[in-house]
Amino acid sequence: MYSYQRRKEPGPVFRIIIRGINDLKLRTKLILSFIVVVFIPVMIVGLFLTNELRHQALDNALEQTAVNVDRVKKRTSEVINAAYDISYRLSNDSRLARLAATEYETVYDVVKAYKDYPDIKEYISLYKEISNIRIYLDNPTLLDNWEFIQPSESIINSGWYQSAMSSSGLIGWNYIEDERDGKKYLSLIRKIDFRDEMSSAVLVINVNSRMLDAILNQETFETMIVDENNNIISSNRPGRVGKGLSEIDFDPSIVNKQSGTYNAVVNEQSSKIRIETLIPLSSLNGIRILSVFSVKTIVKDANQIIILATIVIFISLIVAIVLIYGFSNLLSKRMLRLSKHITKVATGNLDVTLAIDGKDEIGQLSRQFNAMVGSINVLLAEVQESNLQKTQLVTRQNEIKFKMLASQINPHFLFNALESIRMKAHIKGEKEIAKVVRLLGRMMRKNLEAGSKEVTLRSEIEVVRCYLDIQKFRYESRLGYELVIDPLTEQLHILPLIIQPLVENAVIHGLENKQEGGYVRIKAELMDKWMRIEVSDNGEGMDKQRLDFVLRSLEEQEDEANNRIGLRNVHMRLQLSYGREHGLVITSSPDSGTKISFTIPTGGGRHVQSADS
């Protein structure tokens, strides 16, 4: 049985409202509909857009602040890295160790020793990133000068000196006063151990404050560099350097925060603060970069736009109501005729034609109505053709799927065929041919199994060894090779099929045209945090013009007919996976062979984001 649910009739109040609306004149309905359909949504959208505009202004400011802080961090890192380089050299300088540990008998000997060691003055003149260098050492026979100083009791008892003496050579970054000129500098502080001389000293390198100020002066937002004790090292606002964050009405809840973006109150204004921590290599501590901007300042322009937009919208609404009231009588008759024809089309009559005079919107609507009716008739015919095309498309897709399935079977057939050839050759005593076929099958299987995931270096070297053994079968004694692989690198991960193209390039382009044959050497070694791989040959090599052409082809965006696609493919994969600094490095000269090398991080991870930043 079928059950029917009776449609609920509208209530008496709703019926009265509907009847009242139906009894209104057209112009009144237009005004009411305008208020309900346009005015209210515009107000809602206006409020939403107002809020979004403010948020967008803040988001843009935060994004710009993040970019600015990252730029300041990189440039500051470049400045202080100069001090790190100098400290590394001085800590390993045997002449400095002898000068510091020698007990001198006369003042003349001391002066002569200072004169024979001009390195510190040369560092100061060569590196604009530093201001001064001083070394505190306990040697009563030395004289205090601008570089070598006997530490006083106050210096020995200072926190930075005690920290350096107990830090085992790690670097400290402190904002301290240079007793020689009475000024404060961001200083690199580290203990230097002269092991052969059984002595030590404390090295202090002052970073050039003017360079730090120049970096910050290019920023639009208030930006500061502070040390771990919240002392302001540099600022693009006057009167802030040398003070603590607590002295400039800085929000106490943010003082000790590390990297991130925070809401705070600065100078009694709601503000956003971006903090980025910079801890240099081999350092005990670091510095922080702070960028501050007032929320009120950022949304000021947005607020002005909002006020102007509100005024314009309000005036437009008033004008629109007046126009609707004036033209409603002119429009009602023509709209009624249009409504009747639309009703006919709605009932399925597609043979109607509407004729309304005028070139205004209603006249345009009438012409569009007639065009629409004609288009519907055309579309009905096109639907059938579209259905036919859809059926053909499904058929083609099924054929493609079938071909893809067949393409998966072909490699297995090829492997089986190679294995049959190998067994035939083995049975007939052709061991060398059987070996080469086995190597070819293994190499092809490795190549087909290679995907986007990284493989171990040992697996990649197996592919290279198979290729070289096959080529050795071809060239016989004309080809020799050597694999120099550090055992520590064998389990490190590397992109698949990244070395074999380089070896193939060495064999084909370097040795094939050499009558007496040649030699290929593959070397893998660890270098600090990198693994370096080098493929070299003693082939015919390249002159400078040819080498420049090859290097340019590696950076081309479009493949050309004469381009070395194999090398370029390897070069681009290395750069996309590990960063631009990990591309191919090629050196060559005529009759001296070619050497191609590259490095990858030993962690095996991807490092692209940090390369062009």
pLDDT tens-digit series, residues 566-597: 788 888 888 888 888 888 999 998 888 899 99
Encoding tokens for residue 24? 């209104």
Long-range Cβ contact pairs of 15-24 (< 8 A, separation 24 or more): none
Instruction: Give the pLDDT confidence of 110-165 residue by residue, as tens digits.
Output: 889 889 889 889 999 999 999 999 999 888 888 888 888 889 898 999 999 998 88
Instruction: Give the pLDDT confidence of 268-306 residue by residue, as tens digits.
Output: 677 788 889 998 888 888 899 988 877 766 665 666 667
Encoding tokens for residue 339? 């409504």
pLDDT of 389 higher than 80: no
Across the beta sheet with 269-278, the strand order is: 232-235, 222-226, 287-294, 269-278, 260-266
**pLDDT for res 449:** 53
Q: Mean pLDDT across the stretch 14-31?
A: 70
Spatial neighbors of 411 by CB under 8 A, at least 6 apart, are: 444, 448
Q: Predicted confidence band at 610 (pLDDT cuts at 50, 70, 90)?
A: very low
- pTM of the entire predicted model: 0.46
**pLDDT for res 407:** 43
May I ask the CATH class of domain 473-601? alpha beta
Where residue 227 falls (left for φ over 0; alpha for ψ -120 to 50; beta otherwise) is: beta
**pLDDT for res 325:** 67
Q: Predicted confidence band at 438 (pLDDT cuts at 50, 70, 90)?
A: low
Q: Kindly list the domain boundaries of the chain, sorted by start residue.
A: 62-298, 356-449, 473-601
Pairing mode of beta strands 148-149, 130-137: parallel
Q: Which residue blocks in 428-509 are alpha helix, DSSP H? A: 431-449, 457-475, 500-505
Closest CA to 56 of 269, 302, 270: 302
Say how many C-beta atoms besides its own lie within 10 A of residue 469's C-beta. Answer: 17
Does the domain spanning 62-298 belong to CATH 3.40.50.620? no
